[in-house]
């Protein structure tokens, strides 16, 4: 009987996709000892947006979460999502900060790093992969899956081979938007198994309703691990239900090693949590959104664009925005829509529509993307777009982080000069999030209250359009 391993994402991607990443650590801990008995291969519990949200909105030290979970989880491996050189933030950090972050994460108990770059520019993964490998962690190189004229099976094999050269232990096909169809899943896994040979982990959001089908076909093609979430935090923009996947795979003759009766106990716990967190749940994100098959907008991004437009009283512009998103994406070199490129494309599309003239107003982030500050785009950006957005400036060619000065010691000194007694972990909070991180370390932040039902929107920032200030809400989808 061949083995298929179950990776449960409830405590990271699950609540990030459905509950605005707001699950409190104290609500995770009571179920861990039971959950740990279920036979799950790995729990994804850290990284992505959790680091940001925990300190910014919940007044929680993200490192404490990792430590507290590790204390209670003995059998199951713990994993995180790392955004390559962006770590768990939204810009490139210097190499010393990356090395320190990965090192401290291993020291605090993490086993598996899933590392991706929004542009699949492997140069942006080198430092984190090498550091984690050196420390003996399992490194999973993730490939952001998307659909575009340049994203062929051959292209994915090429990226996977680049990751294999960096000696990753496994490959993740990371389908942020739920675009992976059963047919492509089968073909892609087959090709990767044949050409690269590493274990394959499938990650596919339920957004379009195809995820379970894609998983089963991928497993038939030889996928070794599948990502799921406990049923109360599953489906919609989240993932296939863990229990159903285990049942289906067992019946098909795959050995998952997971005990369904234990999962039912875990389910009961998360059912209650879902009620408690109902105020964070956007009903729209729980229904399959088949529009994603046309617009390729990942979990979270769609509902956030709705929120943006609602704030501007411009909901009637939604169809225009949805048409604009793929155009902006094409202009920007067919970037996959994942943090941070999903926000860049989403916000720019909204601005283009609201202003009424394309790229008359561009965000700093759009400019940086065109400048090469995030890395190499999958397809080259057309000269006319470069001109329109950069004017006379020219894009850079090298690895973006090569331009960055070491940062860690400087930040550490700054904190010490402020009279704060801090650990290296604390310094990293400040390195990654200089504003909110500092407030957190000074004890100036508070846990936000639970919102009333329907009241939830995460992270907002302001854009100025022709002298008028607009609030734009964007939750990071990965």
Which stretches of the chain bind Co ion, using CB under 5 A? 13
CB nearer Co ion, residue 17 or residue 348: 17
| Least Å from the CB of residue 103 to Co ion | 25
What is the DSSP annotation of 176-222?
Answer: TTS---HHHHHHHHHHHHHHT-S-EEEEE-STTS-HHHHHHHHHHTT
Give ∠ CA 332-327-364 in degrees, rounded to 5: 45
- C-beta closer to Co ion: residue 61 or 204: 204
User: Min. distance of Cβ 174 from Co ion in angstroms?
Assistant: 7
Instruction: Name which of 13 and 243 has its Cβ closer to Co ion.
Output: 13
Beta-ladder partners of 463: 470
CA distances 321 to 20, 313, 315, 445, Å, are 22, 14, 10, 35
- Residue placing its CB nearer to Co ion in the complex, 13 or 407: 13
Least separation in angstroms between residue 378's CB and Co ion is: 19
Pick 13 or 117: Cβ nearer Co ion: 13
Q: Tally helices (H) and strands (E) across the chain.
A: 20, 10
**Cα–Cα distance, 82 to 247 (Å, whole number):** 30
Q: What Å distances lie between residue 113 and 146, 225, 313, 423, 466, CA to CA?
A: 21, 15, 42, 22, 43
- DSSP string computed for 401-440: GGGPPP-HHHHHHHHHHTT----HHHHHHHHH-HHHHHHH
Task: Decide whether 13 or 331 has the Cβ nearer to Co ion.
Answer: 13
- Supply the minimum distance, in Å, between the C-beta of residue 432 and Co ion: 20
Residue nearest to Co ion (CB): 13
> To the nearest whole angstrom, how small is the minimum distance from the Cβ of residue 39 to Co ion?
23
Least CB distance from residue 204 to Co ion, whole Å?
A: 8
The distance of Cα 414 from the centroid of its chain, to the nearest Å, equals 30
- Cross-strand partners of 461: 472
Q: Judge residue 26's burial from the number of C-beta atoms within 10 Å of its C-beta, 0-12 exposed, 13-18 middle, 19 or more buried.
A: exposed
CA distances in angstroms from 362 to 65, 164, 256, 341, 400, listed in the order given: 37, 37, 49, 14, 21
Please give the Cα distance from 29 to 84 (Å, whole number). Answer: 28
Q: How far is the CB of 281 from Co ion (least distance, A)?
A: 17
Nearer to Co ion, 18 or 321 (CB): 18
Nearest-angstrom CA–CA distance, 8 and 228: 5
CB atoms within 10 A of CB 248: 17
Tokens of 395: 């894009």
Give the three-class secondary structure for 158: helix
Q: How far is the CB of 203 from Co ion (least distance, A)?
A: 6
> Which CB atom, from 13 or from 289, has the smaller least distance to Co ion?
13
CB of 143 to Co ion, least distance (A): 13
Give the helix/strand (H/E) hosting 470: strand 468-473
> Among residues 172 and 273, whose Cβ is nearest to Co ion?
172
């Amino acid at each position: 009987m061949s083995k298929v391993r179950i990776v449960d994402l409830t405590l990271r991607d699950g609540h990030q996709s459905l509950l605005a990443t707001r699950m409190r650590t104290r609500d995770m801990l009571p179920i861990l000892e039971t959950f740990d008995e279920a036979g799950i291969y790995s729990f994804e519990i850290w990284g992505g947006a959790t680091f940001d949200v925990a300190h910014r909105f919940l007044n929680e030290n993200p490192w404490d979460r990792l430590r507290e979970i590790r204390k209670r989880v003995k059998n199951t491996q713990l994993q995180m999502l790392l955004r390559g050189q962006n770590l768990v933030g939204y810009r490139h950090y210097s190499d010393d900060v990356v090395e320190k972050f990965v090192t401290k994460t291993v020291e605090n108990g993490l086993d598996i790093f899933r590392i991706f770059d929004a542009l699949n520019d492997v140069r942006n993964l080198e430092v984190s992969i090498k550091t984690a490998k050196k420390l003996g962690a399992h490194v999973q190189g993730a490939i952001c899956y998307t659909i575009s004229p340049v994203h062929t099976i051959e292209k994915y094999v090429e990226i996977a081979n680049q990751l294999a050269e960096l000696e990753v232990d496994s490959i993740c096909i990371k389908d942020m938007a739920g675009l992976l169809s059963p047919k492509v899943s089968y073909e892609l896994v087959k090709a990767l198994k044949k050409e690269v040979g590493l274990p394959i982990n499938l990650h596919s959001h339920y957004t379009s309703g195809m995820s379970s089908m894609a998983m089963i076909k991928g497993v038939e093609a030889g996928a070794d691990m599948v990502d799921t979430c406990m049923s109360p935090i599953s489906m919609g923009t989240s993932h296939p239900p863990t229990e159903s996947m285990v049942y289906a795979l067992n019946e098909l003759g795959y050995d998952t090693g997971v005990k369904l009766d234990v999962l039912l106990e875990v389910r009961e716990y998360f059912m209650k949590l879902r009620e408690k967190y109902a105020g964070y749940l956007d009903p729209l994100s729980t229904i399959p959104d088949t529009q994603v098959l046309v617009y390729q907008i990942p979990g979270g991004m769609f509902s956030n664009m709705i929120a943006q437009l609602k704030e501007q009283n411009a909901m009637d512009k939604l169809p225009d925005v949805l048409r604009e998103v793929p155009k902006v994406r094409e202009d920007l070199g067919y970037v996959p829509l994942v943090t941070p490129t999903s926000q860049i494309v989403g916000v720019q599309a909204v601005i283009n529509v609201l202003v009424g003239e394309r790229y008359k107003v561009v965000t700093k982030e759009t400019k940086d993307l065109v400048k090469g500050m995030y890395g190499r785009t999958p397809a080259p950006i057309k000269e006319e777009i470069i001109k329109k957005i950069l004017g006379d400036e020219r894009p850079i060619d090298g690895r973006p982080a090569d331009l960055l000065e070491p940062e860690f010691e400087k930040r550490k000194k700054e904190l010490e000069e402020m009279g704060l007694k801090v650990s290296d972990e604390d310094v990293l909070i400040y390195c990654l999030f200089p504003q909110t991180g500092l407030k957190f370390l000074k004890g100036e932040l508070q846990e936000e209250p639970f919102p009333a039902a329907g009241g939830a929107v995460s992270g907002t920032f302001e854009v100025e359009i022709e002298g008028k200030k607009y609030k734009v809400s964007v939750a990071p989808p990965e």
